[in-house]
Every structure is written in C-alpha cells, then in structure tokens.
Amino acid sequence: MNNTIVALSTARGRAAIAVVRMSGDSAIDIAKKFFEPFPTQPNMLKVGTLHTQYFDEHAMCVYFVAPHSYTGENTVEFHCHGGTAVAQAVIEQCLKCGAVMAQNGEFSKRAFINGKQNLTNAEGIIEMIDAETASAAKAGANLLENKLGKMIVSLQNNLLDIVSACEVALDYPEEDLELPTVKSAQNDLNNISQKLSELISTATLGKIAKYGIDVAIVGKPNVGKSSLLNALLGCDRAIVSDIQGTTRDTLCESVNYRDIRFNFIDTAGLRNAADAIEAEGVARARRAADNADVVLHVTDDPTDRSVYPTIRPQVRIYNKSDLFDSEPCCVDSLVVSAKYGDVEVIKQTLYEMFSANEIETSDLLITNERHLDCLKRAKAQLQQAIADCQNTTLDIVTNSIKKAWAILGEITGTCAQEDIIDRIYSKFCLGK
C-alpha cells in the first residue's frame, strides 16, 4: 500500500489558476470525499464543487487511474482559482482526508519508481527540482535562523538525548550507567510533547496571519445580516431588501482591520425554506457556519436568548438597536445598528477574541502547511511513545521515539542514523 501524497503543482503566489495534485492508492477515494460531482470517468476534466473547511470552491477535477498517470499511480488533480489561500485550503482538505504532504520531487520519484518513462522533458524537470532544492535549502537556512528552527532543533536534540540513552541501555546492558528509567523518559517526552502542542497551537494564529479570520454571519431572515455585512465592509456589497430570503447564496468579502484580514461570510436566513434553491442556500449557510472560525449570530429581537447550534465560538449580535424599546436581555452580547454603521465594536471584539494582537509580538508562528503536518505527526508519534512507556518494552519505546525524532528531522533536514551513534559515544562511557 502506497501512501497518498499531495502538493501544489503550479508555482506559488498569484496566478490565474492553481493545480493541486494528489497521487497514491487512495487518491481517488480521498477526492471523492469533498469534490462533487466527481467525474464519472478518468482523464476528463469536470467542473464541480470542492468543499473545504473554510469555503466551497468552484473548481475542476480530473483523475487518472494507475498506471496511466504521470506517477504511474492513481492521481487526482484539482484546478482551482489562483492564489495561495485557495490552494492551501484545498491541500489542507486533502491532508484532513488522509493524504500526506509530498516531499520535494516526490512525484517524479514515484514516476521513476513505477517505471514511468513518459517524462516529456526530463531536462526541464531537473531544472525544476534543482530550483526547488535551492529554494528548499534557502528556506531551510531561513528556518534555521529564526526562533522556530532553533526550537525544533532543540526539541530534536532533547529527543536525541533520550534516544541515545535508551539505545545505550539496549546495546550495553552490562554497563554500569545511570540510565534513564522509562519513567524519567516519560516525563521528558511529556515535556517535549507539550512544547510541540504549543507550537502547533501557534498555527491558529499563523493561519490568521496568513489567511485572516473567517466570520460567518447567520440568523433568521430579515434580521439585517446583509446590512451588517455592508456596514462591516463600509460599502454596499450585498443586496438588501425587506423581502425575506433575499440572500440565497453565501457571499464572502474581506476587510482589513488593524492589519488583520476579516473574511465576512453573509448567508441565507435560516428558516424552513420555500423552495429547493432556498433550501440549498440554508444548507450552505449552515456549512459556512460550521467551517468558520467564529459565528456572528444575528437577531433583531431584544428578548431573543437563543443560541446558534454550532461547535464554533459564537457572538450574539442584537442588530437594529435603533428600534429597541428596552435593553436586550443578554448582557454578554453586542448591540449594534447596522443601519447607522456603528459596527466597529464587532471588529474590535473579534480582534480581541482571537488575540490577534499577539501576531505582532509573536515571532514564533507556524505558517507552513508542511511544518504543521510534521509537528502534528511528531506529536502523534510521541503520544504513541508515551503510551508505549506504559504498555510495552524499551525496544519498542525506543523505536517510537526515534520515529518522532526522524519526523522532526523532516523539518530540519537532520535525521541520520549516524547522529544517534555519535551521541551515544560522546555522552556515555562504554567499553567491553
């Protein structure tokens, strides 16, 4: 069984389209989970909807069945709108459904391994990989200069200490060394795991720094959601009317507030829909809320105490305050009048809610998808090692820790077996 890899196949940055490619045994199954309607036959580019956790993307999809593909494996390509944010979200979706990030040049590697010779221009590919390597090296160098790199190197170093101590215990049983008990290893592993968690948690801020905060505006029909969007944007973007169900589809627009981008998503009013089109609009509204970072639950009734059913954080907005006779019943809510434009308090509240001010002061943000993926896998592997400490023997525990160390090495580029051997000899006095 070959794992399924994913990567952006077109150049990074602004472009008309971006192609995200997946290759591996499960590529087609994974794609089917979030692209619909999935093409009915291979080698045909079909238009459809690609669901990501942030938004739905109108995209095109084509799949190739092994061995008739570039890599010789099952392959799926998504042709989506250009720009980093869209492609990143699509890649994230693939990762979520079971793919792993491709290493540099891994598609070409697989193409070779599977005996595919149809490289249309191998010269060009060498150049491309060359360039990729150069930038990877540069990125690596940059990484090593910043705090993140140093932190990962130091975590790896801590792991190496544990691994070498375990290896000494395994390879030199007769030695009279103060070897770490599994218990002390467990403490160290917990500490490292904790640090990994902290790093992983910066990815939320990192994502905000990179993509902004997704804010879904939901509520019953005619509570003024579209007016609120227009007020937040400071322009007449959404059509506003007194007719219930004016907004049928979701509408996303962004605005910057104190250097943070807010992506406000206006949605159809929630009610039992009158027709199929509106029903689809309501469904999309719910999906938008489920995928947003935060939900603005809008109401125009000061006695309304209802809560929107979502696991996402939500803020209740009492809109149309200019019409209220009494104070709204819930105090932990925001009271605004979209009509008169006093909506800055919403942005201010969201800004504080996401501690967005920390972005400026923090120099330790995970913004790279591959790094985040490595950190998450390393953490999972460490959790496995910690569990192994309880359940099994040192040989297995050591293997688990070694794997976590090697995964971190994918970020720093250092995971040679020789490092362990060197550490063993430099730290321990051994002799037969």
Partner 1 sequence: MNELSKTFDVIVVGAGHAGCEAALAAARLGCKTLVLATNLDTVAFLACNPSIGGTAKGQIVKEIDALGGEMAINADKSLLQMRMLNRGKGPAVFSPRAQVDKNAYHVNMKRTLENTPDLYLRQGEATAVNVLADGTFAVATAVDLTYFSKAVVLCCGVYLNSKTLIGQCVRESGPNGFANARFLTESLRKLGFAVQRFKTGTPARVRLNSLDLAKTVEQLGESDVAPFSYKTESIPATKRSCYLTYSTEETKRIITENKQLAPIYNGSIQGVGPRYCPSIEDKIIRFADKERHQIFLEPESEDTCEFYVQGASSSMPANIQEQIYRSIEGLENVEIMRDAYAIEYDCIDATMLDATLMAKHIPGLFCAGQICGTSGYEEAAGQGIVAGINAERFVHGKSPFTLRRDNSYIGVLIDDITTKENTEPYRMMTSRAEHRLVLRQDNADLRLTELGRQIGLVDDVRYAKFLRKKQQIALAEKDFKTVVSPKTYGPLFEKKNEAVSGAGLTVDEMLRRTNINCKDLQQLGFFAEIDDDALYEVEINCKYRGYIEKEQEAIEQANKLENKYLPDDLDYLSIDGLRIEARQKLNKIRPQNLGQASRILGVSPADIQILIVYLSQRKKN
Q: Which residues bind partner 1 (CB under 8 A)?
A: 1, 103-105, 108-109, 111-113, 116-117, 119, 122-123, 125-126, 129-130, 133, 136-137, 167, 169-176, 391-396, 399, 416-418, 420-421, 424-425, 429-432
Q: How far is the CB of 199 from partner 1 (least distance, A)?
A: 24
Of 108 and 247, the one with the shorter C-beta distance to partner 1 is 108
Alpha-carbon gap, residue 87 to 9, rounded angstroms: 10
Report which DSSP code applies to 282: H
Which of left, alpha, beta for 212 (phi over 0: left; psi -120 to 50: alpha)? left
In the chain, how many H helices and how many E strands?
13, 13
Q: How far is the CB of 133 from partner 1 (least distance, A)?
A: 4
Alpha-carbon gap, residue 199 to 377, rounded angstroms: 13
Yes or no: say if 27 and 39 are a contact pair by the CB < 8 Å rule.
no
Of 49 and 103, the one with the shorter C-beta distance to partner 1 is 103
Does the CA dihedral 70-73-74-80 come out positive or negative?
negative
Q: Treating both helix axes as pointing N-terminal to C-terminal, what angle do 225-233 and 344-353 enclose, rounded to 10 degrees?
A: 80
Of 105 and 224, the one with the shorter C-beta distance to partner 1 is 105
Q: How far is the CB of 174 from partner 1 (least distance, A)?
A: 7
Alpha-carbon gap, residue 431 to 349, rounded angstroms: 65
Of 151 and 394, the one with the shorter C-beta distance to partner 1 is 394
Of 84 and 384, the one with the shorter C-beta distance to partner 1 is 384
Q: Is 123 helix (H, G, I), strand (E, B) or coil?
A: helix
Yes or no: say if 354 and 208 are a contact pair by the CB < 8 Å rule.
yes
Q: How far is the CB of 117 from partner 1 (least distance, A)?
A: 5
Q: How far is the CB of 140 from partner 1 (least distance, A)?
A: 11
Q: Which residue has the tokens 């603005």?
A: 296
Yes or no: say if 178 and 137 are a contact pair by the CB < 8 Å rule.
no
Q: Is 190 helix (H, G, I), strand (E, B) or coil?
A: helix
Buried/exposed code over 231-261 (b: 16+ C-beta within 10 A; e: otherwise): bbbeeebbebeeeebbbbebbbbbbebeebb
Yes or no: say if 267 and 247 are a contact pair by the CB < 8 Å rule.
yes
Of 97 and 100, the one with the shorter C-beta distance to partner 1 is 100
Alpha-carbon gap, residue 146 to 366, rounded angstroms: 12
Yes or no: say if 299 and 316 are a contact pair by the CB < 8 Å rule.
yes
Of 340 and 425, the one with the shorter C-beta distance to partner 1 is 425
Does the CA dihedral 6-7-10-16 come out positive or negative?
positive
Q: How far is the CB of 403 from partner 1 (least distance, A)?
A: 9
Q: What single letter denotes the amino acid at residue 254?
A: S
Of 176 and 242, the one with the shorter C-beta distance to partner 1 is 176
Q: Treating both helix axes as pointing N-terminal to C-terminal, what angle do 122-145 and 147-171 enclose, rounded to 10 degrees?
A: 90
Of 348 and 393, the one with the shorter C-beta distance to partner 1 is 393
Q: How far is the CB of 377 from partner 1 (least distance, A)?
A: 14
Q: How far is the CB of 67 from partner 1 (least distance, A)?
A: 14
Q: How far is the CB of 432 from partner 1 (least distance, A)?
A: 6
Of 133 and 357, the one with the shorter C-beta distance to partner 1 is 133
